[in-house]
């Protein structure tokens, strides 16, 4: 199968459901303040054949923060347990349309594997196309997956601190403008209000169509990035609340031909808790809409 790119439509996937070369994964995450449980919803309804991609398992279990990127050996073991090997085309989706599925794409790329796509518009688009869902757990046969060479697409706080001080690379924050400015209560209890000094803001949802929740066309993505003040000649570190929606910014940059970016895995859930790391609480340079 020729690689169709990082985004596929519901119709494209429907025509290939049941293809043994494809493994569909439901990569939904719901934060505690939503009162929703992603696995429970997966059991109730998912794209036929989809396995559940559990970010609580595909994670660094030694890190007190949730959903942090695991070591290569852990990643490989958990991916193999999902019935994925190095000949598998992985299709990731989430329930809201696009929220957490981009992190699956990012982690695979970080570990040198490119045969991964995202269902554009997620389960919302699948249902809107009148396509069937199924319930229950999907049983898969464990396979062997091997990571490639790490691409260095993950940034940690020391690099982000240096970037904050020097302006290189630039920092782009995917949170809401209110959380970025410190005028809106953050979704991560215990974090301070504000943003990383010197960072810019591009709310991740402003990269999606408001109705379909599909990613905007490339020209619109370029416009949003330029509107946020992203310099096309400087690399970018991407941040958000906990490392989920920063990956949507990464996907947008990739689709516009840029791969000079890293995702700050700790994001505000880490930075906002550490009293030794500086913050700005006043509005900084901002893109996107409230």
Residue at 134 is within a domain? no
**Does a structural domain hold residue 144?**
no
Q: What is the pLDDT of residue 282?
A: 61
Mean pLDDT score across all residues of the chain: 95
Q: What is the pLDDT at residue 185?
A: 86
The residue ranges of DSSP E strands in the chain, in sequence order, are 7-8, 22-26, 51-52, 89-93, 116-119, 154-155, 170-173, 200-201, 236-239, 261-264
* Residue 266 forms part of a structural domain: yes
Q: Would you please indicate which residues are annotated as catalytic (active-site) residues? A: 240
Give the SS3 label for residue 126: helix
Q: What is the mean pLDDT of residues 56-63?
A: 96
Judged against a pLDDT cut of 80, whether residue 121 lies above it is answered with yes
What is the spatial distance between Cα 1 and Cα 127, in angstroms, rounded to a whole number? 25
pLDDT of res. 287? 40
Is the domain of 124 the same as that of 160?
no
The pLDDT of residue 233: 94
- Show the domain range for 208: 154-271
Instruction: Based on the fold, state whether residues 174 and 257 are members of the same structural domain.
Output: yes
Quote the percentage of the chain above a pLDDT of 90. 92
- Is residue 122 in some structural domain? yes
Q: Which residues contact 49 (CB under 8 A, 6 or more apart)?
A: 17, 18, 24, 134, 138
* 145 has pLDDT over 50: yes
Domain shared by 162 and 109, yes or no: no
- Burial zone of 260 (CB within 10 Å; 0-12 exposed, 13-18 middle, 19+ buried): exposed
Question: What is the Cα gyration radius of the chain?
Answer: 18
User: Do residue 119 and residue 170 come from a single domain?
Assistant: no
Q: Is residue 135 part of a domain?
A: no
Report the domain count for the chain.
Answer: 2
* Interatomic CA distance for residues 118 and 270, integer angstroms: 27
pLDDT over 50 (residue 290):
no
pLDDT higher at 28 or 17: 28
Residue 285's pLDDT band (boundaries 50, 70, 90)?
A: very low
Domain check: are 103 and 186 in the same one? no
- Which of 248, 176, 243 lies closest to 216 in space, CA to CA? 248
The sheet carrying 7-8 orders its strands as 7-8, 116-119, 89-93, 22-26, 51-52
Identify whether residues 123 and 182 lie together within a single domain: no
Q: Does residue 288 register a pLDDT over 60? A: no
Kindly report, residue by residue over 175-231, the tens digit of the pLDDT. 999 999 999 988 888 999 999 999 999 999 999 999 999 999 999 999 999 999 999
99 plus 170 within the same structural domain: no
The CA-atom distances, in angstroms, between 26 and each of 57, 86, 97, 129 are 14, 19, 11, 18
Query: Does 118 fall in a domain?
Result: yes
Indicate whether 108 and 167 sit together in one domain: no
Residue 173's φ and ψ, nearest 5 degrees, are: -105, 130
3-state helix, strand, coil in the chain (%, to 5): 30, 15, 55
For residue 225, give Cα distances in angstroms to 59, 109, 172, 237, 288: 30, 22, 10, 13, 9
Task: Tell me the C-alpha distance between 39 and 232, whole Å.
Answer: 39
CATH number, position 210: 3.40.250.10
Q: Are residues 171 and 235 in the same domain?
A: yes
Domain presence at residue 148: no
Q: What is the pLDDT of residue 281?
A: 84
pLDDT at 289 (0 to 100):
31
Q: Is 70 helix (H, G, I), strand (E, B) or coil?
A: coil
In angstroms, the Cα distances linking 5 to 9, 53, 105, 130, 286 are: 11, 21, 11, 24, 30
11 and 124 housed in the same domain: yes
Q: Which of 128, 146, 170 is the last residue in one of the domains? A: 128
Band the pLDDT of 249: cuts 50, 70, 90.
Answer: very high
pLDDT at 286 over 60: no
Give dist(CA 225, CA 175) in Å, integer: 14
Establish if 247 belongs to a structural domain: yes
């Amino acid at each position: 199968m020729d690689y169709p790119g990082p985004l596929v439509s519901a119709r494209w996937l429907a025509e290939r459901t049941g293809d043994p070369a494809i493994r569909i994964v439901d990569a939904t995450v719901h934060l505690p303040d939503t009162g929703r449980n992603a696995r429970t919803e997966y059991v109730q309804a998912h794209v036929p054949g989809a396995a559940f991609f559990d970010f609580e398992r595909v994670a660094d279990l030694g890190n007190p923060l949730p959903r942090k990127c695991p070591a290569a050996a852990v990643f490989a073991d958990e991916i193999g347990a999902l019935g994925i090997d190095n000949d598998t085309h992985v299709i990731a989706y989430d329930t809201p349309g696009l929220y957490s599925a981009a992190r699956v794409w990012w982690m695979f790329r970080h570990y040198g594997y490119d045969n991964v796509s995202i269902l554009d518009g997620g389960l919302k688009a699948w249902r809107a196309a009148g396509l069937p869902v199924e319930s229950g757990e999907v049983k898969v046969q464990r396979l062997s997956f091997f990571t490639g060479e790490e691409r260095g697409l993950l940034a940690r706080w020391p690099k982000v601190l240096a970037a904050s001080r020097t302006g290189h690379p630039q920092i782009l924050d995917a949170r809401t403008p209110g959380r970025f400015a410190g005028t809106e209560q953050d979704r991560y209890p215990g974090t301070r209000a504000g943003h990383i000094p010197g960072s810019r803001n591009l709310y991740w949802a402003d990269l999606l169509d408001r109705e379909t929740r599909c990613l905007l066309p490339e020209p619109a993505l370029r416009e949003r990035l330029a509107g946020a003040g992203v310099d096309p000649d400087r690399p970018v570190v991407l941040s958000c609340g906990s490392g989920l929606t920063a990956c949507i910014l990464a996907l947008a940059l990739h689709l516009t031909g840029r791969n000079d970016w890293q995702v700050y895995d700790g994001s505000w859930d880490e930075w906002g808790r550490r009293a030794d790391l500086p913050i700005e609480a006043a509005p900084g340079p901002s893109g996107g809409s409230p």
